[in-house]
Structure 1
Amino acid sequence: MAALKLSKYICVTSVGPADVAIFSTRSGALYTLGAREWDALTHGDFLEKIPRNSIELLMEASILVSSDENELNSILDLSKESIESDHVLDVVITPTAQCTLGCNLSDFGGYCGQDHKNELMSDATINGLCLQIERLIQPKHRRLLISWFGGEPLLAVNIIRSITEKLITIARQHNLTYQATLTTGGTLLTASMATTLYEELSIRSISLTLDGPKETHDLRRCTKSGKPTFETIAKNIDSILALPRLDRLKLALRCNVDSRNIEEVDSFINYIEDKAWAPRVDVYFALVHPWGERTNAEFAIDTIRFAKKEIDWIERLISLGGEPELLPPVRTFVCRVVTPNRLVFGHDGLIHRCTETPLAKISKFNDVVGTVNSVSPLPTSYKSWSWIDDIENGRYPCTSCEMLPICGGGCPLSWLRRSDVPCPSFKHNLKERINIQLKVKKNSINTCDEYQQPHAYSAAGMAKAFFGEDSEEYKCLALLDENLSIVRAQVAQGFYHNGKAQLLELSRERSSYANNYMARKFFNVMIEGTKSYVFYKEKDHKRLVQSVVNSLEALASISRNIELLDVRPAQVQVLLNYASSCARLNITTSICSKIQRYLCNGKELKFSTITLNSIETVTGWEGDRALFLDQVKEIQSDRLSDHGLKS
C-alpha cells in the first residue's frame, strides 16, 4: 500500500469518553473511531494498527490521502472540472426594480443595499433575455433552473408569466428539465398567489423573510411608508400551509440577524413553536452583511458570537420537528460568479454574475458581462473570474483553511472589496454540529421499525435525506430517478430494446458524478435497481443474481460511509424483490413489512451474507441463496408467531 497521510481537510471532535468523530470536508463523510484507532492515525502508525478494510474506507472518504498529494491543488482542480462540466443552466431574473419594503431606507435603519425604482422589464428585454438564455444552452446541460429575484418579483407577475411560457418551450425543445424558485418579501404572497405560482408558473420553492418577532421585524422590514408587515406575512404563511394542494410547495423562512435583533431570536422561535411552522417551513438564520454602498458596520456582530447562538437555535428547531442543515455539503465551486452557466439578468437588460449587483451601487466593481442585446458570445470559461487562481496563489486566507471544500471561500465579492471577512458560521461551530448530528442519528426516524413503505424503497429518497432537497446532487439524482422510471415503464410494456438503450445512455452519465463519490454511490444503486428489473423481465437469471449482488454491495458501501442512514430496509428490499420476482414468492405488503421488522429488529441483519456491520463483499450470496429463500418462506409461513410477528 502506498504511503499515506492524514488529510488536512478534516474536523475532529470527541464523542463520549473514548471515541472521536471525524468529518471530512473534502468528501462530506462522517466517521466515528475508537481512541486507539485515532491515536494510530495521529501518530502515523495506522498501517500496523488499523485493519486494511478500514484504511480503504478512510481513503475513500479522503480522510487518509496519498502522502505526496497536494490537497489544495486537488481541490482546486476538482473545482475547475466541476465548473466546466456543470450541467445546470442556472439563471436569476429580476423582472422589476420595484419593492414593497423599506428595509433599504435609512429612516427605518435599513440594511438592504438596493436602489428601488418604479421600473419593469420591457417586452424588448424579455425577448432578448429568452434569446440569450437559448444561446447559452450547451450539449452538457440537463436542467434549466430559473430563480425569480428582486426588488419584489411579485409586482411583476405578468412578466414572470410571459417569460415562463417562453422558457418552458425552450427547455422542451432542448430536452431540459425546467425548474423555478422565487424570493419574495412575503407581503404579496397570499394563498391565491402561491397557488398561481405553483400550479401555473412551475415554481416549486419560495423564500421569504421575517426578521424576528413582530416588534423587531416591523421596525426594519416595514413598507416604504412605515406600515408594519409582520402580521401580513405570517397570515400568508398560515394560509399557504392550510392548503393541501400546496403541500409540495417548499417554503424557506430567512431571519436576518444583526446586533439589533440577535437577542430576540429566541422569542421568534417561540412564535414559530406556537405556529407549528418548524416541521413544514425551512427556517434558517443569516448574518447581515455589507450590501452595495451600505457597510452595515454599525449593526455588525462577531461571527463567533453568532455561531454560538446559532447552535442553540438549531437545536431548538430540531426539538420542534424542524430539519435545519447541520453538516454543510461539499461545494465544488464557491458561487455563481465563477461559472459561466449561472448568470443574473437585470430588469434593464444588463447581465451580471452576482445577485447583489443589479440594483445596488458598488464602487470600483463592475460584474456586467453583457446585455440581452449582446451579439458576441458571453463568457464560457471559469477564467472569466480569477477567484480560483487567486486562492491557488494565496491571495486570500482560504488557501490555508481546512473549511475550503465546504465553504468555497465565502463571498468573492466581499474579499475583493475588503468589506468584511465572509467566513461562514459553521467554521466556528462545526464540532457542535457534528455532535448534534450524532444525537439526531440516535433518534432518527430512518429506522427500520418505523419504515412504513416496504415496497417503495427509493435510493432517490435516501439521497434526499443525505444531501438535502435543494442540493444539486439530489436534484440530479431525482432527475435520474424520473428517467429510470421511464425505462422501467418501457420494459414493462415489452419495449426491451428501447428501454435497454436508454438505460445504457443513462449509465454513461456516471462521469457526471465523478466529483462527488457519495453521489456516485447513489447513482450506482439506482442504475443497478433498474438493471435488476430489466434482467427479471428478460428472464436473465444469471445477470439478475449479479445485479442483486451489486445492489447489496453498493448499499453496504453507502452504509459504511454514511453512518446517519439506516440502509438495512433497503438491503432487505433488494432481497425481497429478488425473492418476489425470481423465486415467485407471493410477498404481500403486509408480509413484507413484517419480514422487514423481523430482519432489522437487532443491530444486524440476520442473514450472514448481508450483515450490516461486517459486509465487505457478498461472494457467499450464490451459496446462501437457497438458505435465504428458505428463511423467507419460513417467516412467510403460518409460523409467523414463532418470530414474534403476530398479525
Structure 2
Amino acid sequence: MKASQYNFIFNDIIENTDKTVLYNSRTGALAVLEPEYYKQFCELTNNGLAINNDTYLKNLIECGYIVEDNMNEKAYVKVNLLKNRFESSNLMLTIAPTMACNFRCVYCFEKDQYHNKTMSEETAQSIVNFVKTNASKLDTLNVTWYGGEPLIAMKQIVRISEDFLEICKENNIQYTASVITNGYLLNKEKVQTLISCGVNDIQVTVDGPKEVHDLRRPLVSGRGTFDVIMNNLKQIKGMIKIFMRINTDQDNWLNLHEIVGFLKENSLLENVIPYLGLVTPTNGKYEGTKCLTDEMYSKFNLKFMSENDIPISYIYPAPKGNYCSADKYNSFVIDPLGHLYKCWSDIGIIEQCVGIINEDTSVKWNTELLGCYLLYDPTEDEKCSDCKYLPVCLGGCPHNRMADFNICEQYRYNLQEYITECTKVLLAGQLTENKKEVSESC
C-alpha cells in the first residue's frame, strides 16, 4: 500500500504536544496520532513495513490515508465528480418569481435587471408542468425562492408551492425549499405561510451594525432597513432556521463583530446562524478595488468564525461531489419569464440563458453555454490536475472560471489554520457534520 496523494500532515499545530494531525482532502478525514502511531504510519508509507495493529490499519484504510498501490486517486475524484454532476434523480430549481426589489444595495449585480413584473400564471404553470413531466424520475425536489426580492411575489410562491407539494406527494418525492430574502418583509404572517409552503430555512442578509448596514442596503427611497429587519427576526424567533449572510468587503469588514454582539444581546444567536459572504465584482457591477482578495477573505473568515464561537463545521474543508448547482446537470435558475440559467449570477442576462421553458415543457437549449458549465474537467486542467486541494475545490466557482477570475478555494491560502481550529473542536468532542449548503447569493 502507499500514502494517499491527498494527505496533509501537520506536526506542530497542537500546542504542548508531540502529536501529529492527518487530514485527507479526498475523504475529508481528520485524525490525531500519538507519536508511536505516526511512526508506524511513516514506516509503512516510506519503507513498506507492515502494521501489525489490525484496527489501526483498518482505520487508516477507511479514512483514505493509505490506498492500494494500483489505485488511481485522481481517477476516483473524476468518477465521483461525473457521478454527482450528471445524477438526475434530484431536481434543483432556483426560482425568481419577480426581479422587482425594494432595496438598492450598493454592490448588487442585478441593478440592470430590476423591473416591476412578476411571474405570469402561464409561466408559473409551465414550471409546474416541467416538474410534473420529470416527476417519475425524481427522488427529491429542492427549490430556492430568489429574486429580486421574492417576498414581493408571495402569491406566486404560494401558487407554485401548492402544486409542487401535490406532485411530490403523488410521486413519493422528498421536497425541500428555502428562501433568500433581504428580510424587510419577513414578518410572522409571511413565515407561517412559507412554512406551509414547505420552506425549511431562510437566508437573510445583514451587512453589519445599523450605521453600516443602512448605508449599504437601503430601501429604494434611501431610508435605512436595519431596524425593521431586526424587529422581524425577533418576531419570528424560533419559528424557522435562519442563516444570516454578511456580505463582506473592505468597507465593512472591521465592523462585523458588532452584528454578532447585537444578536447575542437580543438572544437571537441561538436561532440565527451568521456567516460571511465575499463581495465580488460580479458582471462588472461593483468596484473591484473595494473587494477583499481571496487570501484576505480566507484569513478573515476563519478569524470571524473563531472569535464569535460560530460552529467551525460550517467551514470544514469537506470534499465535494460537484462544485455547486451551476455545474450540476439537473439544476436551473428560472427568471420570471421562464428563462433558464445555470448560475444565479447570470439571471436576467439573456446572453447567459441556457434555455427557456415553453408551455409544452419542451426546452430549446443553448448547448454551447451548457457545455461550458457541465463539461469542464478539473482533473485534466493544467492548473488543477495535480493539486492536493482538488477534491475540496474541483476547479473552483464555474462563473468565476468562465469570467477568468481566480478560482482557488479559500483553504488553499491557510489550510493549516483551518485544520488547527477544527482539530481543537475535534479534541473537545464538538465537531459535527454540517450538511447545509450555504447560499452564495447576495
Task: Using the TM superposition, give the Cα deviation of residue 402 of structure 1 relative to its aligned residue in structure 2, in angstroms.
Answer: 1.9
Note if 1:467 corresponds to 2:433: yes
Aligned residue number for residue 595 of structure 1: none
Which one has the largest radius of gyration? 1
Question: In the alignment, which of 328, 336, 341 is matched to residue 339 of structure 1?
Answer: 328
Following the alignment from structure 2 to structure 1, what is the Cα–Cα distance between the partners of residues 389 and 412?
Answer: 7
User: Are the aligned partners of 1:252 and 1:283 in contact in 2 as well (CA < 8 Å)?
Assistant: yes
Looking at secondary structure, tell me which structure has more strand per residue.
2
Task: Using the TM superposition, give the Cα deviation of residue 441 of structure 1 relative to its aligned residue in structure 2, in angstroms.
Answer: 3.6
Question: In the alignment, which of 417, 423, 432 is matched to residue 417 of structure 2?
Answer: 432
- Map 1:58-457 onto structure 2 (within 5 A): 58-103=60-105, 109-114=106-111, 115-139=113-137, 141-198=138-195, 200-241=196-237, 246=239, 249-294=240-285, 296-318=287-309, 325-360=314-349, 366-373=352-359, 376=362, 384-385=371-372, 387=374, 389-394=376-381, 397-418=383-404, 420-444=405-429
User: Are the aligned partners of 2:342 and 2:373 in contact in 1 as well (CA < 8 Å)?
Assistant: no
Deviations 1:416-458 (A, max 9, x none): 111x21333233333223222332244446xxxxxxxxxxxxx
Compared CA separation, residues 306 and 423, structure 1 to 2 (3 A): same
Compared CA separation, residues 442 and 374, structure 1 to 2 (3 A): same
Compared CA separation, residues 48 and 442, structure 1 to 2 (3 A): closer
**Runs (5+) with no aligned partner, structure 2:** none
Following the alignment from structure 2 to structure 1, what is the Cα–Cα distance between the partners of residues 86 and 311?
Answer: 36
User: Are the aligned partners of 1:113 and 1:360 in contact in 2 as well (CA < 8 Å)?
Assistant: no
Task: Using the TM superposition, give the Cα deviation of residue 151 of structure 1 relative to its aligned residue in structure 2, in angstroms.
Answer: 0.6
Following the alignment from structure 1 to structure 2, what is the Cα–Cα distance between the partners of residues 354 and 386?
Answer: 9
Following the alignment from structure 2 to structure 1, what is the Cα–Cα distance between the partners of residues 378 and 56?
Answer: 33
Percent identity reads 23
- Map 1:610-621 onto structure 2 (within 5 A): none
Amino acid at match of 2:340: I
Compared CA separation, residues 162 and 409, structure 1 to 2 (3 A): same
Following the alignment from structure 1 to structure 2, what is the Cα–Cα distance between the partners of residues 113 and 343?
Answer: 18
Secondary structure of 2:343's aligned partner: coil
Looking at secondary structure, tell me which structure has more helix per residue.
1
Task: Using the TM superposition, give the Cα deviation of residue 387 of structure 1 relative to its aligned residue in structure 2, in angstroms.
Answer: 4.9
Secondary structure of 1:263's aligned partner: coil
User: Are the aligned partners of 2:60 and 2:66 in contact in 1 as well (CA < 8 Å)?
Assistant: yes
Amino acid at match of 1:55: L
Deviations 1:258-296 (A, max 9, x none): 111111112333223322333221110011113223253
Following the alignment from structure 2 to structure 1, what is the Cα–Cα distance between the partners of residues 412 and 117?
Answer: 40
User: Are the aligned partners of 2:313 and 2:434 in contact in 1 as well (CA < 8 Å)?
Assistant: no
Runs of 4+ in 1 over 6 A off after TM superposition: none
Normalising to structure 1: TM-score of the pair? 0.62
Compared CA separation, residues 376 and 416, structure 1 to 2 (3 A): same
Aligned-pair RMSD on alpha carbons?
A: 2.6
User: Are the aligned partners of 2:328 and 2:374 in contact in 1 as well (CA < 8 Å)?
Assistant: no
User: Are the aligned partners of 2:8 and 2:23 in contact in 1 as well (CA < 8 Å)?
Assistant: yes
Deviations 1:155-203 (A, max 9, x none): 00001111011111111221112221100011111122212211x2121
User: Are the aligned partners of 1:11 and 1:430 in contact in 2 as well (CA < 8 Å)?
Assistant: no
Aligned residue number for residue 485 of structure 1: none
Following the alignment from structure 2 to structure 1, what is the Cα–Cα distance between the partners of residues 55 and 370?
Answer: 41
Following the alignment from structure 1 to structure 2, what is the Cα–Cα distance between the partners of residues 360 and 228?
Answer: 29
Following the alignment from structure 2 to structure 1, what is the Cα–Cα distance between the partners of residues 48 and 437?
Answer: 35
Following the alignment from structure 1 to structure 2, what is the Cα–Cα distance between the partners of residues 50 and 407?
Answer: 36
Following the alignment from structure 1 to structure 2, what is the Cα–Cα distance between the partners of residues 123 and 40?
Answer: 67
Task: Using the TM superposition, give the Cα deviation of residue 70 of structure 1 relative to its aligned residue in structure 2, in angstroms.
Answer: 2.6
Compared CA separation, residues 309 and 293, structure 1 to 2 (3 A): closer
The count of corresponding residues between Structure 1 and Structure 2 is 430
Following the alignment from structure 1 to structure 2, what is the Cα–Cα distance between the partners of residues 340 and 135?
Answer: 17
Following the alignment from structure 1 to structure 2, what is the Cα–Cα distance between the partners of residues 81 and 177?
Answer: 20
Deviations 1:117-137 (A, max 9, x none): 111100110111111122233
User: Are the aligned partners of 1:91 and 1:145 in contact in 2 as well (CA < 8 Å)?
Assistant: yes
User: Are the aligned partners of 1:211 and 1:217 in contact in 2 as well (CA < 8 Å)?
Assistant: yes
Deviations 1:459-514 (A, max 9, x none): xxxxxx84325269xxxxxxxxxxxxxxxxxxxxxxxxxxxxxxxxxxxxxxxxxx
User: Are the aligned partners of 1:311 and 1:433 in contact in 2 as well (CA < 8 Å)?
Assistant: yes
